[in-house]
Chain A
Amino acid sequence: MSAFLQYLVSGIAVGCGFALLASGLVAIHRVTRVVNFAQGMFAVVGGMTAGSLLAAGLPHGAAEAGAVAVAGAVGLAVGIAATGKRGTSPQSALIVTLGIGFLAYAVEIMIWGDNPRSHPGLRGAVTLFGAHVQKQSFLVIGVAAAVFALLALFFGRTYAGKALSACASNPYAARTMGIDPVRMGLVAFALGGMLGGLAGVLLTPLQPISYNSDVLLITNGFAAAVLGGLNRPVVALAGALTLGVAESMVAGYGEASYQTVVALALMLAIMMVRASRRTALQEEAAR
C-alpha cells in the first residue's frame, strides 16, 4: 500500500510536468495550428538554465523564475522562426520546429555538456500513510495546479486571453477586427515556452535531464495533448496525469525502461482509434 501511494504521488507529479508541456503544445496549436516539436526543448532549456542560475548564486525562486523567462524568450524565438513570415503553412512551420529542436542539441551541448544534470529542488521527504514522498513532488503538483488555475483565468477572463481564443476560433474574423493572428501566435509560442520551461524547472530535481531528454518529454506531452485532439487543455491535463501515473506504476512494479513504451503505445492506440473514427464519420457524411 505504501509503495503504491509513493508511486501514485510521484506519478501525479511527473504527470503534472507532462501536463504543463502538453498545455504549451495545445496553446500553440490552437492559435497557430502548428504542432511544435521543439516543445520538449523548452523544458530542457528551463531545467538547465535553472541549474546554471542556482550555481551562479541566485537564490531559489529568482533562479527558477529567470529560467522560465529564458524559456519563454526561446519560445518566442522559435515562434518567430517558424511562423513569423506571413503565409507560412502549419506543415512548413512544424518542420522548422523539428529542425530547431535538433539545432538546439548542439547549442545545449556547447553550453551545458552532454552529461545529465540536475539541481536541488525542495529537499526532504514526508511520510504519508507509511509512504516516503519527496517534498518536491508536492511542490510540482501545487505549482502546476496554480498555473492551470491562472491559465483558466487568463483564457476565460482577460481580454488578451479571449483575443487568443478568438484567433484560434476564427483567424479571418480576428484579422478583420485588427487582431493580428501572427502576433497572437507569437504570444502563444512565448506562453508555450514558459510552460515548457516551467515543466523542466520543476521536474529536473526529480529526474536529471540531459540535452536529449526532450524526446522523452515531447513524447509524453504529445501523447497527452493528442488525447484532446491537440485542442482541449482539460483533456490533455487528464491524459498527462494518466500517463504519469501509468508510467510510475510500470517503473515501480515492473521495469523502468518500459516507461516510454507505455506513452508510445497509448499515443499509437489513440491515433489509430481516432483515425478509424474519422473514416467512419467521413463514410457517414459521404452517404
Chain B
Amino acid sequence: MIGYFKNIWDGFYSLLAGMSVTIRYFFKPIVTVQYPREKLEMSPSYRGHIELVIDEETKTHRCIACEMCSRICPSQLITVEGVKVGKKKLPVKHYIEYQYCSLCGLCIESCPTKALKWSNEYRLAGYTRKSCEVDLLARLQQQQRLLGYPPTPIPEPVPEEEAAAAEAEAKAKAEAKKVSEKEEPPKKEEAPAAEVKKE
C-alpha cells in the first residue's frame, strides 16, 4: 500500500525533475551557427588544398620550380613550369587539379624550400570539374593584395622557338652520350679477357 503511493510520488518527482532540465535548456542561448549568415572560425590546423607560403622577409613565395612536388604527388595533379630569371629559377605556372587530391601532404613534405602549406579553404562548391582547379600563383597574388604586400609578378614563360631549340640541343647531347657509351664497353671487356688468356 505504502509502496503504491511511494511509487506514485517517485514517478511524479522524476517528471518534475525532467521538466526542470528542459525549461533550463529553453532559456540557454542556441549553440547552432546559422551558416551563410554566421561563420565559424576555422582552426589553423585544418587541411584545405595546398597554397604557397608568403615568406616573412621577402613577402613573396619561396618556390624554385624544382618540380619535386609534382614528381612525388601520387595522383599526379600538380603542374609546375619554371623559367630561369637571372640566377634563380621561378615558377611560371603552378596549379593543382584539386578534384583528384587525396590530401596526403607529400608535396608539402618534399618541398626543399618549404614553400607549400595547407590552406583553410572550405568553400569549394562548384558546378564543373574545372572549377576545382586552383591556380596557386593567382591565389598568392590575391592574398598579397589583401595583406597590403606588392603582388609577385608572374615571369614571362620561355618563348616557343627557344624552348624547341633547347630541347633539340638536349636531345642531341643525349644521343652523343649514348653512342660514346656503346663504343667503350666492348674495349673494356676485351682487355681483361686477354689478360686472363695470357695467364
Indicate whether A and B interact.
no
**Chain A residues close to B by CB (< 8 Å):** none
**Chain B residues close to A by CB (< 8 Å):** none
